[in-house]
Structure 1
Amino acid sequence: MDENTLKLLVRLTQEGQLSPLEEQISSGGSAAAHTVGSKHFGRSGDTLLHYAARLGHLNIVEYLIKQLGVDVEVYNNDYKRPLHEAASMSHKECVSYLLQNGAKVDSLKKADWTPLMMACTRRNLEVIQDLLSHGADPKLRNKDGWNSFHIACREGDPLVIEHLLLTAPDVWRTESKTRRTPLHTAAMHGCEEVVRILLERCGYTRDGTDSCGVTPFMDAVRNGHVSVARLLLELHQASPVAADVLGAQPVHQVAVTGQEEALRFLVQELSVDVNQRATDIQLTALHYAAKEGHASMIKTLLELGADLRVRDKKGRTALHMACIGQHAETVRMLLLLGLKDSEDASGTTARQLARKPGAVQAFQCGLSES
């Protein structure tokens, strides 16, 4: 078959047009039919069966397997089988058919993802149940150390989480290669109902940390999920002042990510010290916010009592940090707020750190207006 005919076959498959597809393939004879069935297309190396499974065209899936004898375990350049495709797109009928016709339930694609892991990226409990009923192992881990439960906790469907725990009660006892637990994942993504289930049904250690020393509470607040943070405080007695491996506490982390509501929650409701220092360099939340260029966060910090003139261990003020980050508007704002240029412990002024044209100009404008 010529290139145009092959492109037509792909299009007909993707559109789910079985009759025209059969006609085109039949016109080429039995040898052509065999060739087409095993043909890999494009950079991905997908076959017609991959296309049909991905798009949920069960009639074409049946035709390719039964009539053309396409191998149900055929894989593309990423080692994805048709079952991966159908599971990832929640096509239950295709998933069931592929499993009934010999598809291996725990086949691995690139990065060691199973069809069940792919299914858990969606909120389709029926597909997940079908895979589990055929023996899928929810405890298998991919190259990053994530199992299916980890992935489901990221998506946040309580029904899926409940079913996985029912099927494999110990599935929550897992960590990624960076020691992140499903509780970290659910907290980071603001999946409040899932966090509640994990806290009520699983035995996670209070303030358990990943390899960077980050706790689920930190994940929640630095991503702005205050309701999840409240839940962790209520049900897990999480610490609002625990520090990561660099000594940064939640108050510093929210300054980095610019989460003002979370900052107010920490300072006003939990009485966290807004001027608390982090790391051996003694940075404050104000330093972090200035380095990231969060002008609005700086204003909120000052409103909550942050000391504008505080210096870190190297003698740097927030103005130095804003210049290091080359944040022109933040530099200008700090100068207008009354922060003067000065030398740090090494004798370097903030102005000397402003290298990009915008930051230099902001410095000049700020000095003239202050």
Structure 2
Amino acid sequence: MYAAKKGNKKVVDLLVSKGCNLSVVDNLGGNILHAACLGDNEDIVKDLLSRGIADIDSRDNQGRTPAMYAAAKGYKKVVDLLVSKGCNLSVVDDPGRNVLHVACLGDNEDIVKDVLSRGIADIDSRDDQGRTPVMYAAKKGNKKVVDLLVSKGCNL
């Protein structure tokens, strides 16, 4: 999981060749696919998906999916890969956040644009504490994402 999270494919491959258990889940409910999505390494994610080790829409203890992890970090290529493999972007996690909320944390305008263009999350959707995507972007200081949401008509 550490090697996948760091995006180190050579180490992941070595450990797999030595028989490591890829189905382990950590104390937070995350699996190897969650960790790989934090590593921003498409090859590791592709390999794990091809092995069928972890469900593409698996959820951690807070209900977050691997796509949410990648979106929150702003890793567009990993998000695109997961989308191309059929992940469900309409998932809402336990605190009520959707993929648009978490994408606004990642400071990647392209991910936010893509989510908005798919019409899967309302631009003014609220999490369980009433926070909207633009509030997430503003809290993280992601000015370009805030400007994008404002240009798309979010409610300030």
Local SS of the residue matching 2:110: helix
CA-based RMSD: 2.3
Structure 2 gap segments, 5+ residues each = none
**Residues 291 and 266 of structure 1, relative CA distance in 2, 3 Å threshold:** same
**Residues 231 and 290 of structure 1, relative CA distance in 2, 3 Å threshold:** same
**Residues 242 and 219 of structure 1, relative CA distance in 2, 3 Å threshold:** same
Q: Write the letter of the residue equivalent to 2:147.
A: Q
Local SS of the residue matching 2:115: helix
Partner of 1:312: 93
Instruction: Please say which structure displays the higher CA radius of gyration.
Output: 1
Q: Is the 8 A contact 1:283 1:312 kept in 2?
A: yes
Partner of 1:332: 113
Out of 248, 261, 283, the position equivalent to 2:43 is 261
Structure ranking higher on relative contact order (CA contacts 8 Å, 6+ apart): 2
Q: Write the letter of the residue equivalent to 1:310.
A: V
Taking structure 1 as the reference length, the TM-score comes to 0.37
How far does residue 317 in structure 1 lie from its aligned partner after superposition?
A: 0.9
Corresponding position: 1:346 with 2:129? yes
Corresponding position: 1:251 with 2:33? yes
* Separation (CA, whole Å) in 2 of partners of 1:367 and 1:264: 36
Partner of 1:105: none
Partner of 1:135: none
Bigger mean CA offset, 358-367 vs 306-315: 358-367
Local SS of the residue matching 2:104: helix
Partner of 1:362: 148
Corresponding position: 1:220 with 2:23? no
* Separation (CA, whole Å) in 2 of partners of 1:323 and 1:220: 26
Deviations 1:207-234 (A, max 9, x none): xxxxxxxxxxx23333444454344234
Partner of 1:17: none
Q: Is the 8 A contact 2:7 2:44 kept in 1?
A: yes
How far does residue 277 in structure 1 lie from its aligned partner after superposition?
A: 0.9
* Separation (CA, whole Å) in 1 of partners of 2:10 and 2:52: 14
Q: Write the letter of the residue equivalent to 2:27.
A: V
Partner of 1:300: 81
Partner of 1:282: 63
Q: Is the 8 A contact 2:112 2:145 kept in 1?
A: yes
Q: Is the 8 A contact 2:137 2:145 kept in 1?
A: yes
Structure 1 gap segments, 5+ residues each = 1-217
* Separation (CA, whole Å) in 1 of partners of 2:3 and 2:131: 37
How far does residue 365 in structure 1 lie from its aligned partner after superposition?
A: 4.1
How far does residue 294 in structure 1 lie from its aligned partner after superposition?
A: 0.9
Deviations 1:321-348 (A, max 9, x none): 1223443332222212323222222232
Local SS of the residue matching 1:243: coil
How far does residue 265 in structure 1 lie from its aligned partner after superposition?
A: 0.6
Taking structure 2 as the reference length, the TM-score comes to 0.81
Q: Is the 8 A contact 2:74 2:108 kept in 1?
A: yes
How far does residue 367 in structure 1 lie from its aligned partner after superposition?
A: 6.0
